[in-house]
């Protein structure tokens, strides 16, 4: 069997590199059969740093059979001019979009650094922190205080992705999200936890595939009944019946990323912001 082709990819930014990573990685998902080795180079915000970066990329290029790819979101023209001299395929993500937007709006961009993930919107930043604190306080049913403030309450058997999804919703979208585990009593009786009665309109359920759930649980408690395939299949089967009986919208999270799960939850609950 042929080894997958390999290509080193640099994400270069004058800020944190999050935008370059996100946009670049999204584009690379469209190319199967290539193994991408990714390196992020943040805070390249001066000509001196740009020259050092070019020297590094050029050095790496001499050790590779194929030249590197470089995704850049730097806005300083001098820095960009230097970066373009690297022995690599240089892809300026801002070049692609800034000029058409300038033409449409009839104004020039400010070329300000670090705007995408800075604290220019303090109100939104504070809202995200408040949502995060709420999600952490209420994680896994630890607290039922002020549940009326919740935008959404995720319910599911253990290890179906409740906690990471609620934390992502809070940090990324300032959604007041919390989660409750479905216990053996809940699943056996096909009844919602008592603390959630009256909040049915806020509920969203998660399920998984038995094999996937067994794999995840085995990493935590190998060889236990909790991680057995039979137990996983039983809990998932009962959870789906509980959701249907109580008209709780739900989805199978087995092959979905946290971002995809969060998007589906927000769409179902009308939480798009």
Per residue in 23-75, pLDDT (tens digit) is 999 999 999 889 999 999 999 999 999 999 999 999 999 999 899 999 999 98
Instruction: Characterize the bridge pairing of strands 203-207 and 89-92.
Output: unpaired
Q: What's the CA dihedral at 36, 215, 153, 246 to 10 degrees?
A: 130
What pLDDT is stored for residue 118 in this prediction? Answer: 52
- Return the percentage of the chain with pLDDT > 70, whole number: 93
Question: What is the rounded distance in angstroms from the CA atom of residue 74 to the CA atom of residue 183?
Answer: 50
- The pLDDT tens digits for 64-103 are 989 999 999 998 889 999 999 999 999 998 877 888 888 8
Q: Can you tell me the mean pLDDT for 217-233?
A: 95
Task: Name the residue with tokens 């909040």.
Answer: 199
Instruction: Tell me, letter by letter, the H, E, C secondary structure of the chain.
Output: CCCCEEEEEEEECCCCCHHHHHHHHHHHCCCCCEEEEEEEECCCCCHHHHHHHHHHHHHHHHHCCCCCEEEECCCCHHHHHHHCCCCCEEEEHHHHHHHHHHHHHCCCCCCCCCCCCCCCCHHHHHHHHHHHHHHHHCHHHCCCCCHHHCCEEEEECCCCCHHHHHHHHHHHHCCCEEEEECCHHHHHHCCCCHHHCCCHHHEEEEECCHHHHHHHHHHHCCCCHHHCHHHHHHHHHHHHHHHHHCCCCEEECCCCCHHHHHHHHHHHHCCCC
Question: What is the rounded distance in angstroms from the CA atom of residue 174 to the CA atom of residue 260?
Answer: 16
What pLDDT is stored for residue 94 in this prediction? Answer: 80
What pLDDT is stored for residue 93 in this prediction? Answer: 82
pLDDT at 113 over 60: no
Bridge partners of residue 180, in order along the sequence: 155
pLDDT: is 252 or 124 the higher one? 252
What is the radius of gyration, based on Cα positions, of the chain? Answer: 24
Q: Residue 41's closest CA among 24, 27, 29, 64?
A: 24
pLDDT category, 5, cuts 50, 70, 90?
Answer: confident
- Return the percentage of the chain with pLDDT > 90, whole number: 72
pLDDT: is 263 or 97 the higher one? 263
pLDDT category, 174, cuts 50, 70, 90?
Answer: very high
Angle at 180 between CA 178 and CA 181, to 5 degrees: 145
């Amino acid at each position: 069997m042929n080894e997958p082709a390999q290509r080193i990819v640099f994400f270069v930014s004058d800020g944190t590199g999050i935008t370059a990573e996100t946009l670049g990685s999204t584009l690379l998902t469209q190319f199967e059969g290539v193994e991408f080795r990714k390196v992020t180079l943040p805070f390249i915000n001066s000509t001196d740093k740009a020259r050092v970066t070019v020297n590094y990329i050029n050095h790496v290029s001499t050790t590779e059979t194929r030249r590197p790819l470089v995704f850049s979101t730097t806005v300083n023209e001098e820095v960009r001019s230097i970066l373009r001299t690297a022995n690599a395929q240089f892809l300026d993500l801002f070049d692609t979009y800034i000029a058409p937007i300038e033409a449409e709006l009839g104004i020039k961009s400010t070329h300000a650094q670090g705007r995408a993930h800075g604290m220019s919107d303090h109100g939104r930043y504070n809202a995200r922190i408040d949502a995060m604190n709420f999600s952490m306080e209420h994680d896994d049913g630890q607290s039922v205080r002020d549940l009326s403030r919740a935008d959404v309450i995720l319910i599911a058997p253990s290890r179906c992705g409740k906690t990471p999804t609620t934390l992502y919703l809070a940090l990324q979208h300032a959604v007041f999200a919390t989660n409750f585990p479905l216990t053996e009593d809940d699943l056996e009786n096909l009844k919602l936890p008592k603390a959630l009665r009256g909040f049915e309109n806020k509920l969203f359920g998660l399920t998984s595939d038995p094999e996937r759930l067994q794999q995840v649980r085995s990493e935590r408690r190998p060889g236990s009944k909790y991680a057995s395939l039979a137990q996983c299949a039983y809990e998932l089967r009962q959870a789906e019946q509980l959701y249907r009986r109580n008209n709780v919208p739900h989805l199978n999270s087995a092959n979905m990323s946290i971002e995809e799960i969060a998007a589906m939850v927000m769409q179902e609950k009308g939480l798009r912001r």
